[in-house]
Structure 1
Amino acid sequence: MNIDLRSDTVTRPTAGMMDAMWSAKIGDDVFGEDPTVDALENKVAAMFHMEAGLFCPSGTMTNQIAIKCFTQPMDEVICDQTAHVYRYEGGGIAYHSLSSVRLLNAPRGVLTAEMIEVEINDENIHYPHTSLVVLENTVNKGGGACYTLDQIAPVHTLCNIKGLKLHLDGARLFNALVATGDKAAAYGKYFDGISICLSKGLGAPVGSVLLGSKETIQKATKIRKVFGGGMRQSGFLAAAGIYALDHHVERLAEDHHHAKVLGQVLETLNYVKAVMPVETNILIFEVAAEFSAAHIVESLRKKGLLCNTTSPKTIRFVTHLDISSEMIDQAIEILIHLQPS
């Protein structure tokens, strides 16, 4: 059996999650009649002390809906140059929202208020109107780097002063909460929108929830419909999300431990040049000068360890619900005995 470290999106529902899905009470969610979807939206909103939530098929959709809610055509969005909303959502900011993007280059993708402030445009007919800042927690391309609430608070203050909206791509937010010890309930006061992904570390098969004010979510519901994201008897999927929130949050610490163990091993190997500091479940390492990342990935695949490159010289491992301690031990044996030529 392969050890799949390509992404935490490859997880499959546990037996308990499957039972919850099959027993879910369902209705037509587009008509507002699916009680399990309602329960999920209310549950996540309450966890983060926000007014309302909207269940969507993917984190890309929740992010793009939020950006459309918080911008007008000819506006500008500030984010890091590694941000998922910019790099991996198909040019959605330009396509859906007709907005430009101001890219920052922060260490490991973690923005500060000082970085953001100097990039906010003056009101001038030559410039797009800066209307939105997007943070990502954890930062995927930053090797799972975390924001703490102490880092977020100054960004929130700046956005308030400048009249900007603040959105959080929280694709792996629960990983950050487990790593930092910050509380979900404290997040709502800092953000106008939060996207919570259920299908990564939490292990649900599908879905993300967008959180915001009642007014924002009312607008978002219309945009979801236009995007083709209105689902019908989606309570089956929402039930998986509820189960994940009830049973799979605290265990994220196990994934973090596994990633750190792998990182410690990689630091000893002659085909590894450097390992990015491991904070959560994402591990990125740079291969030595004489090797290519693609070649090492292929060599590992032949040994039964699946992973991905993130550049010609870097490789990413992601630990998750379906990776056991025994698999980590097997992965270590493969890494130690690998002899890339």
Structure 2
Amino acid sequence: MPFTPARPDPSQPAVRINLLSDTQTKPTPAMRAAMAAADVGDEQVGDDPTVNALCDRVAELLGKEAAVFMPSGTMCNVAGLLAHCRPGDEILAHRTAHILSREGGTHAALGGFQITGLDGADGKFTPDALRAALHPRTRYEAAQTVVSVEQTANIGGGTIWSKSDLEAIVTIARDRGLATHMDGARLMNACVATGIGASRMSDGWDSVWIDFSKGLGAPIGAVLAGTRDYIDAVWRWKQGLGGSMRQAGIVAAACIHALDHHVERLADDHANAHALAHGLGQIDGIAVQQPETNLVFFDPAGAGISGAAMVKALRAKGVLLATMDGRIRACTHLDVSADMIEETLGLIRDVVRAV
């Protein structure tokens, strides 16, 4: 795969239904108005009032002492783990975790860390699997420093780590002197689906972040939270990685608007995902994983068509999907309506009938 993303093919019909990812959301008119009206300053020297307000709000939301605004969730993971580890350290995470499968080996390249992938169903390892992966601290093996989870587990199917497993992992990590890091790219989806508040969901985790450019609908931005000393250390890496910004209040205002208006409506995305999964389950030959949040993974091989071929056929009809980990992934978000879900199901039936 080339490193440079392909530009849209002008010979293809316009995308009418975009189920590629919740990163595809466009700012709403109200969000754009909030951005235009934002009070701004120099974020790099702590002088942007809107960024400061966002960081204070997210720190309170997650039950942490302090927070830092980042351009992306990937930078939250990279800078966050650079602040936790030293070269030669080992991080424990699920083998499909974003830090291992989707961040270009940056942790090894910049920090000299190794990430050990743990097995487990649906993108989650069990507390017992974590215990089994731990080893005594000796000079012969990498120092195990951090345990990381991804809430929700993307490649696992948008699945939710249970509160009891999160608590057990924290207890095991503390007993062994390991830090805990939560990649909370879709944490608010998990909170809305379970009714568990964000501070309770992340209680005991040393570092945790939420992404605003996915289901919350902002054009850019994520916020990482932890202790004040930890956030000071993260800031050093943010500066070195080029993540410090100037009048960033324009985009921070979009994130504040998202917290005010786009959290509870995540339930609509979950309902649309369930409707899509239900409809797919009625089509002979399609195997579908029942969604817990806004991600629907399905495999049409039993209907006589590969995932790649179906994605191509639907793209020709103006529907954008992706293959991931050998299956098709559909992602619902605020720019996808219930009517679009029904239309997509009709088009998938047409493709299967044609086969």
2:51 is equivalent to residue 65 of structure 1 = no
Mapping 1:193-272, distance limit 5 Å: 193-272=207-286
Identity over the aligned pairs, expressed in percent? Answer: 39
Deviates more, 1:197-206 or 1:65-74: 65-74
CA distance in 2, matches of 1:271, 1:203: 34
CA contact (8 A) 2:276 2:342 kept: no
SS of 1:118's equivalent in the other structure is: helix
Deviation at 1:35, TM superposition (A): 0.2
Aligned position for 1:92: 106
Aligned position for 1:328: 341
Question: Any unmatched runs of 5+ in structure 1?
Answer: none
Deviation at 1:332, TM superposition (A): 1.9
2:342 is equivalent to residue 309 of structure 1 = no
Aligned position for 1:32: 46
Deviation at 1:114, TM superposition (A): 1.1
Q: 2:199 aligns with which of 185, 192, 212?
A: 185
Structure 1, residues 13-45: CA drift from partner, whole Å, max 9, x if none?
011101110000000010110000000000000
CA distance in 1, matches of 2:318, 2:36: 33
CA distance in 2, matches of 1:33, 1:167: 28
SS of 1:264's equivalent in the other structure is: helix
Structure 1, residues 253-303: CA drift from partner, whole Å, max 9, x if none?
00001011110111122341x211210000001222542211010011111
Q: 1:155 aligns with which of 145, 169, 175?
A: 169
Deviation at 1:60, TM superposition (A): 0.2
Q: 1:119 aligns with which of 112, 133, 158?
A: 133
SS of 1:147's equivalent in the other structure is: coil
CA distance in 2, matches of 1:267, 1:52: 45
Mapping 1:125-136, distance limit 5 Å: 125-136=139-150
Residue 343 of structure 2 aligns with an amino acid whose one-letter code is Q
Aligned position for 2:55: 41
CA contact (8 A) 1:8 1:200 kept: yes
CA distance in 2, matches of 1:121, 1:204: 42
CA distance in 1, matches of 2:157, 2:203: 27
CA distance in 2, matches of 1:74, 1:185: 32
SS of 1:101's equivalent in the other structure is: strand
Residue 165 of structure 1 aligns with an amino acid whose one-letter code is A
Number of aligned residue pairs = 339
Residue 46 of structure 1 aligns with an amino acid whose one-letter code is E
CA distance in 2, matches of 1:57, 1:146: 25
CA contact (8 A) 2:211 2:223 kept: yes
Structure 1, residues 151-175: CA drift from partner, whole Å, max 9, x if none?
2101011111000000000000000
Aligned position for 2:90: 76
CA distance in 1, matches of 2:306, 2:106: 31
CA contact (8 A) 1:271 1:291 kept: no
CA contact (8 A) 2:155 2:325 kept: no
What TM-score do you get using the length of structure 2 for normalisation? 0.93
CA contact (8 A) 2:27 2:218 kept: yes
CA distance in 2, matches of 1:40, 1:148: 27
CA contact (8 A) 1:143 1:284 kept: yes
Residue 189 of structure 1 aligns with an amino acid whose one-letter code is D
Aligned position for 1:276: 289
SS of 1:317's equivalent in the other structure is: strand
Aligned position for 1:22: 36
CA contact (8 A) 1:21 1:236 kept: yes
Q: 1:143 aligns with which of 157, 163, 168?
A: 157
Deviation at 1:235, TM superposition (A): 0.2
Aligned position for 2:5: none
Deviates more, 1:4-13 or 1:123-132: 123-132
CA contact (8 A) 1:77 1:131 kept: yes
CA distance in 1, matches of 2:122, 2:48: 40
CA distance in 2, matches of 1:169, 1:233: 26
What TM-score do you get using the length of structure 1 for normalisation? 0.97
CA distance in 2, matches of 1:152, 1:180: 14
Question: Over the residues paired in the alignment, what is the CA RMSD in angstroms?
Answer: 1.2
SS of 2:133's equivalent in the other structure is: coil
SS of 1:178's equivalent in the other structure is: helix
Deviation at 1:189, TM superposition (A): 3.0
Residue 224 of structure 2 aligns with an amino acid whose one-letter code is L
CA contact (8 A) 1:297 1:306 kept: yes
Residue 341 of structure 2 aligns with an amino acid whose one-letter code is I
Deviates more, 1:75-84 or 1:283-292: 283-292
